[in-house]
Every structure is written in C-alpha cells, then in structure tokens.
Amino acid sequence: MHQTNGCKIPVGVLGATGMVGQQYISLLNDHPWFEVRFAAASPRSAGKKYREAVAGRWHLTKTYTPEVGELIVEDANDVSRAAAAFKKGGCSFVFSALEMSKDETRALEEKYAAAGIPVISNASAHRWTPDVPVLIAEINPDHTDIIPAQKKARGWDRGFIVVKPNCSIQSYMKPVHALALAGYPAQRIIVTTMQAVSGAGYPGVPSLDMIDNIVPYIGGEEEKSEKEPLKIFGSIDKNVLKNADFPKISAHCNRVPVTDGHTACVSLEFAGKKPSCMEEVKSIWAAYKRLPQEQNFPTAPQQPIIYREEDNRPQPRKDRDADKAMAVVVGRLRPCNVFDIRFTALSHNTVRGAAGGGILNAELLKYKGYLS
C-alpha cells in the first residue's frame, strides 16, 4: 500500500539538508528498495524546494535526483506533514538526521513513532533509552527483537525507534566483535581517535581552529565511546537492553584536519585466552561476515573488515571509500607491550558511521519484516 514504482518503499529524511541528511539523499538516489519521497529540515528550509534549500551548501560530489530536487522541504517539527504523506503512500518510515537539543530530538522522534512512522535515527537522543536498540547491523541484529515490546509499552501500533551509535566507535567495533565471536572477547581497550571535521556537521569547527592544528576535545564523545559499546554487546533482558560488563574502554577523542574518515588507534587486552599469533587475528577478521549472506543487502560491504598489510595504511584519503565506504579498513596489527594486541582502524564517518549505517539498519529491518 505504501509502495511506489511497483516495489520501492517511500521514505522520508528528517534533517535532509544537513551533512548526514545529504549523504542519505545521495546514497538513496538509486537504492533498489527505498525511494526518498519526503524531506524535512528546520523552519529555515521549510517551504523551499530541496534544490533551493541546499543551494550553495551541497557538500558531496554525487548529487540528488531531479525528483528530490523538486520536493518541497517540510518543517520537521510538524509531524502532521509526514503523517499526511504517510497516508497518501509517500512516507512509510523516516531516517532522522536532525541536529537539535537531546530533549527536543527525543520528544520529536517519539511523536513520529506515535504517529505510526518508524524512526531510524542517527541522533544520540535515544541511545540510552532502555528499550531502544543501538544497532550495528553486523554486530547486534538480534536487538531488533525488542521492537515489539517497545511498541507495546508505549501503545504504538506501527511506529518504533531504532538508533545507530556514535560514528567514532564504528571503526573498531567490528574488529573487536569478530575476535569476541571467535572466542577472544576483549577485557580492556585503550583507544585514541582522530576524527574528521565532517563529524561536527556544517559549518562545524571554525577553519581557523582546524588548519595546522589538532583539537584534543570533542564534547561528549569520550563518554559515548566508552559506554555505547556495552549496550551494543549487551542482551535483551525483560524487555530492556542490559549492558555487557566488558570491555572496559578508555577513549581519547581528537578532532583532526581531515574532511571525512575517523581513524582509531586501539590497544586491546583479551579477557581470557589469546589468539596464537597475529596471523590468526587477521584470518578471523578476513572471515568476518555476520549478516545473512543470502539476503544480499544492497548497502552491506562485501568484506566488512579489510586488512591492509602496508605499514602506512589505513589512511583516510586512500581508504575511507573502500567497499562503498561501508567497510572498516584495518592495519598495523602488532603485539602490544602493555596489553595484548594493537592496531589502527578507519571508517567513513558520514557513510559507515552515519547515513550508510542507517540505511543498512533499514535493510535489516525490512528483511526482518519491520518495514513495509
């Protein structure tokens, strides 16, 4: 009923004019399952055609379709607009890439869900809501099982909320998860991140603070990096998500003058037995494929973890676009003098860490029957 072109599901993007919103629009250009039919942003953009709203601030090389360019941008705060579009078959669910206060975002995303519109969010507002899953499709796809309880607890018939985690942890969570699946869970991790400026949205950090410089502080980022993995590695217990106890993480998060691509230097101590050698770790990473392979999710990377043998890789400019910018690129694996192993990992923050990760979550939810 809510499909167009015979098969595509019509979707909306909240915050469609922003850094992450533009990635959603561009990645969904030729998506085989989803089609953008609704775009919303702040009252500043509302009422304009999409192409007018992003004129002079389109950040990507790939553009939007003529159809999206002609969409009238709605005020994201007015849920009735999306509800009306839903009724006309023009917005089956929304991707949320809003930059508002936590309280405002939390309340607004709940209004969409209450209006029967599922929300797949990039914002941090709901990451600590106990029955909202924080999804990395390859790591905790089973956390979607909490959705029926979430809907029931709030009396929502069709709507629900899922979120994705902070962009900086995406680069090293999969390597850590692959090792845990192989019987080598981490006990303690020390991670130093070098995070791209696009992670701060647009206009983001002033250029005079960034050129020829590193800023050793990103508000709230270290706390998110230390806590969110525990929810992702946790489990469903009595209709809430219970955190895992480990790994204990100490994070140093830095903003560096790179446009896209967050890099992380990781030192890891195993909880129990350790891999026999570095080659075993590499072969575990090479074999890591957790999504149902037969489903062929359009946005999933063929090789979720790519290992580079060169001493000087991964590098943001050379490696961030690997496998549709959805892979994690890892290198420099070696023994650690203090913990057990150390390595460097990289992922594209606005694709893998934001819009691409959100779209992959939507593909997983469709596969599981939560979206139609």
Active site amino acids: 167, 262
Q: Tokens 């009735």 label which residue? A: 80
351 binds ligand NAP (CB under 6 A): no
205 binds ligand NAP (CB under 6 A): no
User: From the CB of 351, what's the least distance to ligand NAP, in Å?
Assistant: 9
147 binds ligand NAP (CB under 6 A): no
Query: Which x/- pattern, by CB under 6 A, does the window 77-116 give for ligand NAP?
Result: x-------------------xxxx----------------
- CA atoms of 319 and 315, how far apart (whole Å): 6
178 binds ligand NAP (CB under 6 A): no
18 binds ligand NAP (CB under 6 A): yes
123 binds ligand NAP (CB under 6 A): yes
Of 214, 91, 93, 90, give the one whose Cα is nearest residue 161: 93
Q: Tokens 């209450």 label which residue? A: 114
Q: Identify which of residues 93 and 307 has a Cβ nearer to ligand NAP in the complex.
A: 93
Q: According to CB under 6 A, which one of 28, 36, 41, 134 is a site residue for ligand NAP?
A: 41
Residue 369: exposed, middle, or buried by beta-carbon count in 10 A (0-12, 13-18, 19+)? exposed
**What count of other Cβ atoms lies within 10 Å of the Cβ of residue 349?**
31
Tokens found for residue 69: 């360019």
Q: Identify which of residues 113 and 281 has a Cβ nearer to ligand NAP in the complex.
A: 113
345 binds ligand NAP (CB under 6 A): no
C-alpha separations of 56 from 19, 183, 201, 317 in Å: 13, 51, 15, 24
* Cα angle value 315/318/324 (rounded, 5°): 115
* Cα angle value 199/325/217 (rounded, 5°): 20
User: From the CB of 37, what's the least distance to ligand NAP, in Å?
Assistant: 17
Closest residue to bound ligand NAP by CB: 18
User: From the CB of 34, what's the least distance to ligand NAP, in Å?
Assistant: 18
Q: Report yes or no: 280 and 357 within 8 Å, Cβ to Cβ.
A: no
- CA atoms of 188 and 175, how far apart (whole Å): 14
20 binds ligand NAP (CB under 6 A): yes
Q: Identify which of residues 117 and 333 has a Cβ nearer to ligand NAP in the complex.
A: 117
Q: According to CB under 6 A, which one of 92, 193, 263, 349 is a site residue for ligand NAP?
A: 349
Of 67, 28, 96, give the one whose Cα is nearest residue 356: 28
- CA atoms of 211 and 225, how far apart (whole Å): 25
Q: According to CB under 6 A, which one of 26, 92, 122, 140 is a site residue for ligand NAP?
A: 122
Residue 280: exposed, middle, or buried by beta-carbon count in 10 A (0-12, 13-18, 19+)? middle
201 binds ligand NAP (CB under 6 A): yes
DSSP strand pairing (93-96 vs 9-14): parallel
How many binding residues for ligand NAP (CB under 6 A)?
A: 29
134 binds ligand NAP (CB under 6 A): no
25 binds ligand NAP (CB under 6 A): no
- CA atoms of 51 and 44, how far apart (whole Å): 14
Q: According to CB under 6 A, which one of 199, 247, 304, 316 is a site residue for ligand NAP?
A: 199
Q: Identify which of residues 140 and 349 has a Cβ nearer to ligand NAP in the complex.
A: 349
Q: Identify which of residues 332 and 348 has a Cβ nearer to ligand NAP in the complex.
A: 348
Cis bond leading into 335, ω under 30°?
no
Point out which residues bind ligand NAP (CB under 6 A). Answer: 15-21, 41-42, 44-45, 76-77, 97-100, 122-124, 167, 198-199, 201-202, 349-350, 353-354
